[in-house]
Structure 1
Amino acid sequence: MYHILRVLLYRLWVVSTFTLFSSAIIFWFYGFFLALTVFSFGISGILYSAQDLLLYYPNDPPDSRVFVLQPSNYKLPYESVKIKSKDGFKIHMFLIKQPTISNHRPTMIFFHGNAGNMGQRLCNVSGFYHKLNINILLVEYRGYGLSEGSPSEQGLYMDAQTAFDYLMQRNDIDRTQIILFGRSLGGAVAIDLASRLEYKNKIWALIVENTFTSIPDMAKILLKWRCLNWLPMFCHKNKYMSLHKMSSVSSATLVVCGACDALVPPRMARELLVRCGAPLKRLAVLSGGGHDDTWTRPDYYAALQRFLLDVPPLPDEARVTVVHTV
């Protein structure tokens, strides 16, 4: 609670001071009730806008918007790509491909968490590359790393669609073996994409790790304010209603969670799995895994590999690729 108040006061002190000052002036000239009304609307607007500050951390650590570690630091072959999203922002991505002996390998679209940039996930990605023998497309959301714009829920969804559409335009990958992978906030982005009617039948597999059921659910856990139980949904600027969307997911799904995750309760992983509409769905609970380090557990890559070996091919009707204009 102290941390949240400190962040709000530090980042919004100008507008907070203006709200308080204007309320005092109105009180002096027009009385208590009008001043209270103005103050209430002002604080409500501040709290609504501040939700982005509490969810998105593109500047953590401070140089994350100007320095992105390159895959070459891990001796990974890559292409640095910038693609325009449907609303005109340039989205930065890394495509890390296996040697071109065969194009019939799965390709993972990697959606990272709410802090930093995609370069900070390269150690994990190196494990995917060498131990799972797959291609990886890392996506840097708008407002993160070298991508343009500012983060928002609908914006991140659009960035995910941009990344998928980009892969559908390439002829050097197997477009029938696309894996969506999302960790924490990235899990919510991956679930949204996998649940969309125009994409769901073209996704081979979905893997989410230490992700939540929704932002309103997380707010109740982190803030512990009883009033949140009665707060109308429209008061939440960011919702990421993953639990609701899971029933529309039909791709083979693996839900991974660390047994010691202190941020997102492991029970949320089980709730997501139960709600999932996929014929093949599994839960992998890794002993000793925390929110940010589950991928370092000894059985991590083996659990993902076992799952992928059991994922069936896409039905023939799903192999007809529709290329979207980006």
Structure 2
Amino acid sequence: MKEVGIALPASRRVYAITASAFLLCFIFYYFYGGYMTLVLFASIILLVFYYAQDWLLYHPELPTNSRIYIPIPTMHNLPHMTVTIRTTDDVTLHAFWICQPEERCKSVPTLLYFHGNAGNMGHRLQNIWGIYHHLHCNILMVEYRGYGLSTGVPTERGLGIDARAAIDYLHTRHDLDHSQLILFGRSLGGAVVIDVAADTVYGQKIMCAIVENTFTSIKDMAVELVHPSVKYIPNLLYKNKYHSLWKISKCSVPFLLISGLADNLVPPRMMRALYNRCGSERKRLLEIVGGSHNDTWIVDGYYQEISTFLADLQQHPPPLQKAPEKSNVWVELEHKIIDV
């Protein structure tokens, strides 16, 4: 749903709903007494906790005006085309197509870039400049639903749909090599990449996946950021799960995992756990001393290490994967989470 008119920001909507809920409890207490009010109060607390999770995780409005002002690649002397991608659930995604010169466009890899949980894709253009000039690849930058100029509201399943729609879009273009598609995701974007790579249909469509400073699951991050006792909250109460540690065990595409050892948001041990659990026979963990959560890419040697990984793949391409048995892991994952 596109934001129009006087729609309240997510934070104010949560506050308004909470205030209304407490007023309802007071009225309920007046008419029905203490026990029924206690049950109602507990139910409201659970509902607020469940629906406030989107507000805590997704920050498309930070910094201010991120839904309105999107820096464009020409500000960094990058050639680009603005494209619109329509998803299967009728959401319109805003994206930048940045390609190499025409004589090289069809022979180089194409990198599909997924950013973190705040801001918009234009805030990552310095990193994109480095990828373009150091890795010499085409780049498709995608703005998630509810971010920047994209319509819709961000959800875990929705971001997965967005990523698959972006891959489908690339396969409609005839100015690139479809056998050299790379998925790249940082932080939340890494969780999106792992979800797609674990899909046995869409995993067939990519050459490799690169994730940087991403987490094992939302529950694990809640334990880190809130309190260790949060681990006792059932998985069923998490609206966004991003169970990447489980999903990555289903992946067979080549994987490069980049971990900034100075990351003070996502503990580097989570990246090591993802590497150890990764089901791919061709995987590599790149640990970068001094790399922080958002700025690992500024450390010397960052692009050279990625280039070495990609060059090795191009020289020794992986064997064809087995035919897919199912389209994705959502159903299996949901059953697993309910059983926990």
**TM-score range relative to shorter protein:** over 0.9
Provide Cα deviations, 1:197-225, integer angstroms capped at 9, x if missing partner.
11112211110000000101101111014
Provide Cα deviations, 1:120-166, integer angstroms capped at 9, x if missing partner.
00100000000110011001000000100110000000000000000
Name the residue aligned to 1:252. Answer: 254
Alignment RMSD: 1.5
Q: Is the 8 A contact 1:176 1:314 kept in 2?
A: no
Name the residue aligned to 1:323. Answer: none
Provide Cα deviations, 1:287-306, integer angstroms capped at 9, x if missing partner.
11111111111111111111
1:60 equivalenced with 2:62 (yes/no):
yes
With normalisation by structure 2, the TM-score equals: 0.89
Cα deviation for residue 94 of structure 1 reads: 0.6
2-structure distance, mates of 1:9, 1:83: 28
Q: Tell me how many residue pairs correspond in the alignment.
A: 311
Name the residue aligned to 2:203. Answer: 200
Aligned mate of 1:138, from 124, 138, 141: 141
1:152 equivalenced with 2:155 (yes/no):
yes
Q: Is the 8 A contact 1:208 1:254 kept in 2?
A: yes
Provide Cα deviations, 1:45-68, integer angstroms capped at 9, x if missing partner.
111000000000000011100111
Name the residue aligned to 2:317. Answer: 313
Aligned mate of 1:285, from 273, 284, 287: 287
1:211 equivalenced with 2:214 (yes/no):
yes
Cα deviation for residue 229 of structure 1 reads: 2.1
1-structure distance, mates of 2:160, 2:264: 26
Name the residue aligned to 2:237. Answer: 235
Name the residue aligned to 2:46. Answer: 44
Write the letter of the residue equivalent to 1:42: I
Change (3 A) 1:277 1:9: closer
Aligned mate of 2:130, from 117, 127, 149: 127
Q: Is the 8 A contact 2:194 2:248 kept in 1?
A: yes
Change (3 A) 1:127 1:224: same
Name the residue aligned to 1:321. Answer: none
Aligned mate of 1:94, from 93, 96, 115: 96
Q: Is the 8 A contact 2:220 2:231 kept in 1?
A: no
Name the residue aligned to 1:178. Answer: 181
1-structure distance, mates of 2:317, 2:277: 23
1-structure distance, mates of 2:271, 2:14: 34
Write the letter of the residue equivalent to 2:204: N
Cα deviation for residue 171 of structure 1 reads: 1.1
Name the residue aligned to 2:20. Answer: 18
Write the letter of the residue equivalent to 2:287: V
Unaligned 5+ segments in structure 1 are 1-6, 319-326
2-structure distance, mates of 1:28, 1:98: 69
Helix, strand or coil: the match of 1:12? helix
Name the residue aligned to 2:303. Answer: 301
Write the letter of the residue equivalent to 1:279: E
Q: Is the 8 A contact 2:11 2:55 kept in 1?
A: no
| Paired residues for 1:100-115 under 5 Å | 100-102=102-104, 103-115=106-118
1-structure distance, mates of 2:167, 2:124: 20
Cα deviation for residue 15 of structure 1 reads: 1.3
Provide Cα deviations, 1:156-179, integer angstroms capped at 9, x if missing partner.
000000000001111110000000
Write the letter of the residue equivalent to 2:310: L
2-structure distance, mates of 1:309, 1:13: 51
1-structure distance, mates of 2:136, 2:28: 66
Unaligned 5+ segments in structure 2 are 1-8, 323-340
Q: Is the 8 A contact 1:209 1:257 kept in 2?
A: yes
With normalisation by structure 1, the TM-score equals: 0.92
2-structure distance, mates of 1:277, 1:92: 33
